[in-house]
Amino acid sequence: MSEEPRALHPDDSRWLDQAGKLLANLGFNLVEADPTRANDATHLLVAIRPAPTLAHFDPERAEYWATEGGRGRQRTIDRETRVPIASDYAWGHMGLVDRLNVRNEFLSFGGSLRCQATADGTVLIDFASHAPILRWSGHSQAADPIASEVGAFFARLKVPIDFVPGTETLIASAAPSTLYCAFVQSVRERLAQARTLRDANRWLADWSARESQRLQANAPDHWNGGAELRKQLAAVEAIARE
């Protein structure tokens, strides 16, 4: 989490200014990483303003998961939240909700979170990750093509968590990029084992092949870590089936 995120300066005053400019006419903005830059980050930027603008989607709160004592806990940021905040956030579902309870939802492999208020009382939030943040559903966006695959992967992770103590801590200890590599590997393996499935999802097979090649070249430590994590999870799943 220590690498400098793309487009946003690590100095508090600078990132606040830059985020404010990117959100001048928006309630949120997903700034995606440049895949050609190994250390680039994706940023989900959110503005919770003192009053709705009625000109765009106006978030009233941001929902996300954090890890405490090895366990996932849902957290919320709204106008009443004490800021500034500088912490990590956990893998899973993220939601932005407006005054009418309309939602825009995302999936993330985890990352770092910073939050601060501006002079006019706007609460600016930066969810940053060195793994992708995916648009899942919502009022103001279309779902990313692989979002359903990521959602299914996260659902499978939750199964052993419910049955084998320590599984949640094991997954939470993985870096976001490592968990993302484990996801890409799982997609490739599943498609390789079923030709019919692979032929029916040619775009997904092509994507996973390209992404595997990129990750092995640019993030070999995370790629190997993802493989090790999958071995550990396979052992956990075997225990859960007993």
Q: Quick one: which of 170, 173, 182 has its CA closest to 224?
A: 182
Cβ(39)–Cβ(7) below 8 Å? no
Mean pLDDT of 63-84: 94
pLDDT for position 101:
94
pLDDT tens digits, one per residue of 196-208: 877 878 999 999 9
Mean pLDDT of 39-45: 91
Residue 119 lies in a domain: yes
Domain that holds residue 233: 147-241
Confidence band of 42 (pLDDT split at 50, 70, 90): very high
Residue 219 lies in a domain: yes
Mean pLDDT of 156-176: 92
Residue 6 lies in a domain: no
Q: What's the CA gap between 235 and 229, in Å, rounded?
A: 10
Residue 7 pLDDT greater than 70, yes or no: no
Do both 55 and 127 map to the same domain?
yes
pLDDT for position 6:
41
Rounded to two decimals, the pTM is 0.91
